[in-house]
Amino acid sequence: MATTTLTTENFETAVTENNIVLVDFWAEWCGPCRSFGPVYEKVSEANPDIVFGKVDTEAQPGLAGSFGITSIPTLMVFREQVLIYAQPGALPEQGLEQIVRAVRDLDMDEVRAKIAEHEAEHADA
């Protein structure tokens, strides 16, 4: 299995020790989550250099709550410890592959510069 179960105990380590981490917030009772699961698994197998984590929102309510998860499935993507994507809804395989390509192509120096610029603009707020 190419996906990793993420919990409050290993979530931070997964994000800090890996370049790219995708996180699927899901629950067993959720129909769209069950249909997205095989898509997520298939894309994870095609991208072994990326961590594809899964957070069971029923088993990890604190972790889901800390990210403000109100709808599942929700996909979050971290690159170099920066949250760069967060969107609820099941994706088709092509859509998930497109996100993976976009994440790989990101210029993280540019992303960090934009974050710093935004923080500087709002420092007095």
| Number of CB atoms found within 10 A of residue 17's CB | 11
Do residues 91 and 41 lie in contact, with contact meaning Cβ atoms separated by under 8 Å? no
Residue tagged active-site, from 6, 15, 21, 30: 30
User: Three-state SS string across 78-93, please?
Assistant: EECCEEEEEEECCCCH
- Among residues 29, 41, 54, 49, the alpha carbon closest in space to that of 93 is found at 41
Residue tagged active-site, from 6, 33, 63, 100: 33
Rounded Cα distance, 27 and 30, in Å:
5
Annotation marks residue 69 as catalytic: no
Annotation marks residue 33 as catalytic: yes
Active site residues: 30, 33
